[in-house]
Amino acid sequence: MAECASKYGNKEVHYKVAEATNEAECKDLADFTLAKFGKIDIVVLSAGITAHSMFRDISDVDIARKVMEVNYMGPLNIARYVVPVLRQSKG
């Protein structure tokens, strides 16, 4: 963060770590952002993982389940808390 702040001259750099598959952490992230800035103008939903194998070679369905949990539910978890706020701000 210090490098970002010095490189771009912004002393108000903030971050919060959240696991996209953890709904409570996603809510905390949205709440943190609203408390810090008072609004949300834009959200980038970029959670994603992959399993490098042919479908026929997947022997453990839990691998596919984890991919879906991260790639589908992760963005959905964030979106459910920020979309209402984005609508209010017309973001």
Q: How many whole angstroms separate alpha carbon 25 and alpha carbon 77? A: 9
Per domain, the residue ranges of the chain are 2-89
CATH architecture of 2-89: 3-Layer(aba) Sandwich (3.40)
Q: What is the pLDDT of residues 22-70, one digit of tens each?
A: 999 999 999 999 999 899 988 888 888 888 778 788 788 888 899 999 9
Place of tokens 């194998």: 53
Instruction: Decide: pTM greater than 0.85.
Output: no
Question: What secondary structure letter does DSSP report for 20?
Answer: T
Q: What is the pLDDT of residues 18-29, one digit of tens each?
A: 999 999 999 999
Q: Which of 36, 19, 21, 30 is nearest to 71 (CA)?
A: 21
